Every structure is written in structure tokens, then in C-alpha cells.
Amino acid sequence: MRVEETKLAGCFIIYDTVFSDSRGYFFESFNQQKFTSLTGAKAVFVQDNQSRSTRGVLRGLHFQQGEHAQAKLVRVLEGTVLDVAVDLRKDSPTFGEYVAVELTEDNHTQLYIPRGFGHGFVVLSPTATFFYKCDNFYNKASEGGIIYNDPTIGIDWKIDASEVLLSDKDSVLPTFNEISATVYFD
């Protein structure tokens, strides 16, 4: 396992060591001791989530705030997604900035997103199965979001806007400027 910190402090790209032979491959997708040692993150994961989506489906940008804030460890089991983390920590020098990482079934790359970040992804392949661990339980009253095409953040989703498929909820999310003064994380 190799870990690389992104330009957003506390947000890490994780490259797993994959052992391949004629039978297929094997890799250790998570090891709490190695994860903590290499990242310094104190996350203890309590919930796993999985979704399957078709090309163009964009889920996000989502976050949990207050005492229900969540750190996530995300990866792709099948297909290709562009995964995005946005720094929403008001005291951070990278507040409002983002990182984008292509996660695929072949590169076995993971992204660790600490508490205090917005998160979203778009499917770039015909289908994708997305898997993630959370260090806190979901709480509907604490959820929030930012519209995916927010002009202040300016994310390049690597897909034409005409292909983007949003849920009804995600299509009416507020802008970064509308929520930036009210978002809080414990």
C-alpha cells in the first residue's frame, strides 16, 4: 500500500499493492493498522455503502455536518468514475478547493476523504459499482449538498453536461456561496 496526500490536507489517494497471476489478482483493500499508520487518520469505519450506476450518473456533492460529519474511504469495484472531494473546512487554506481522482476497477485506487469535505462522483464507463466506508452513521437531518456545476468551485467532471444524470434532490442543491457561511463540522 502506498499513500499520497493530495493538495487538500488530510485527503489521501491510496494505491493498493495488487498481486496478479494467471488465476486473477489479490489485494488487501483495507487494513486498519496500515491505514492509520500511513495516513495518521483516526477514522474507525462503522458503515459500508455500495451503489451501481450507469454512464453519466452524477451523485453529489454531498456531506454530513455537525456531530454526524463523515469521513469516507471510496473505491470502484466495477467500471470507472471521476471521484471529487471539496474542502469545506472554513479554517483550511484550501477552503472551497477540490481534488478529482479517476477510480477504476483496474487501478484499484482509493480516495480517503476526511470529515469536513463535500463528496461526489460521476460514472465515466457504461456502468460502475461504487463502494465506500464511512466513519459515522448517516443522519438525514444533518445532510447537505452543493450543486455539482457550482461556478465558484468550477469542477471539471470530464463529461459533457448533456450526459449528466442527476437525482431530483441533487438537481436543486444550493451553490457553494449559498451554504458556505452555514456549514459546520464538529
Distance CA(12)–CA(23), nearest Å, equals: 31
Average pLDDT for 22-31: 94
Partners of residue 133 on adjacent β-strands = 48, 73
Distance CA(89)–CA(80), nearest Å, equals: 28
Distance CA(11)–CA(158), nearest Å, equals: 21
Q: At 146, phi and psi to the nearest 5? A: -130, 140
Tell me: the pLDDT tens digits for 120-146? 999 999 999 999 999 999 999 999 999
Q: Are 83 and 114 spatial neighbours (Cβ–Cβ below 8 Å)?
A: no
Distance CA(34)–CA(32), nearest Å, equals: 6
Tell whether 31 is covered by a domain: no
Grid cell at residue 50:
455500495
Tell whether 186 is covered by a domain: no
The pLDDT value given to residue 182: 83
Lay out the sheet containing 98-104: strands in order across.
98-104, 80-87, 117-123, 58-64, 143-145
Tell whether 23 is covered by a domain: no
The pLDDT value given to residue 184: 77
Whether residue 14 is predicted with pLDDT greater than 70 in this model: the reply is yes
Grid cell at residue 51:
451503489
The active-site residue out of 98, 108, 119, 132 is 132
Range(s) of the domain holding residue 99: 43-179
Q: 74, 62, 81, 72: which is closest to 128 by C-alpha?
A: 81
Whether residue 186 is predicted with pLDDT greater than 70 in this model: the reply is no
Tell whether 94 is covered by a domain: yes
Number of domains making up the chain: 1
Grid cell at residue 157:
467532471
Residue 48: CATH number of its domain: 2.60.120.10
| 62: annotated active-site residue | yes
The pLDDT value given to residue 181: 81
| 15: annotated active-site residue | no
- Mark residue 3 as left, alpha or beta (left: phi above 0; alpha: psi -120 to 50; beta: remaining): beta
Tell whether 124 is covered by a domain: yes
The pLDDT value given to residue 180: 83
Distance CA(136)–CA(142), nearest Å, equals: 12
Whether residue 62 is predicted with pLDDT greater than 90 in this model: the reply is yes
Q: Are 8 and 99 spatial neighbours (Cβ–Cβ below 8 Å)?
A: yes
- Mark residue 176 as left, alpha or beta (left: phi above 0; alpha: psi -120 to 50; beta: remaining): alpha
The active-site residue out of 62, 68, 108, 119 is 62
Tell whether 110 is covered by a domain: yes
Tell whether 20 is covered by a domain: no
The pLDDT value given to residue 185: 72
Mean pLDDT of the chain: 96
The pLDDT value given to residue 167: 97
Calculate what percentage of the chain has a pLDDT beyond 70: 99
Tell whether 185 is covered by a domain: no
Distance CA(107)–CA(66), nearest Å, equals: 34
